[in-house]
A and B are shown apart, each in its own frame.
Chain A
């Protein structure tokens, strides 16, 4: 039995017109991981997801789920996989319940209580008998997630799972996915634009840019890769900068919303911000703002993709 839920081998997709959507991606996702796949629009995330689900044939390379090669005839494999590809969709003239009933039958689920259980689990009771075409985007997203979870899959492939959900819904789905991974060992492979959400949920992150997997980090490595800095505000930034330089530090100036800030990345400053405060007080420029800041995943992502773009230019 393969320990990997997902493995891709030099997976490549070139569309007509010589558009290279996915370029030799080697990906390994272990069982029980929550893997977030990040990238700008057009980076190749959706093509990658569709290739994993056998919806698009690779130009070269191949994908495996649970050690089985993905192909159009992999019907047995799909019993173990739940998915939500791009936006949530449903049959608009069927009720929410009938939409789930359709999914239930096609997934080969014999237990019809599964539909009612999923309606309850995704808090869709109020909308169960309403036509899917009339429910809000958030509830449509809940319906799509319910459909993906209906047959209790071992692997969830979710494209933007928090799309259209309100803040409470985002937290609810985050907790649901986390508990599925923790309690039932479900593997989650997700793409998301809500990087703050990914930051809180993913155990591993892959960043894709122009079809290539440019960085893959687990939460520990991500923490290590993140830019950390000490932010300092003062009434006289020039004087503060002079004082810091005189102490052998290398401050950088940055303007944030019209306020001049000094940033220190020296290990000494990061380890002992109190010393910096003392130093500035002694120099007669006491700090008005002193904070240790950590690069958010969003900032890390933007910095990395900008570096790649800069290197390519």
Chain B
């Protein structure tokens, strides 16, 4: 059994850049424990000398011509999606 403590949840939330509410922490503590217990099933498998599969296409070193692809998007259009921007830069709140 994998036991997930409240501190574990807070640590994972920190690793995941999530600020959780108290009520959510309690629920997630139970859920994460249950999910981990389920996926622990894999520890039964003997995988000695088995190579991992990270991708299934078998494609390697996919090349294309070293030319700029026109994505049809301008700097102005992309910056317009930022919550705030000024002088062609994304503006963020003062954090120091």
A binds B: no
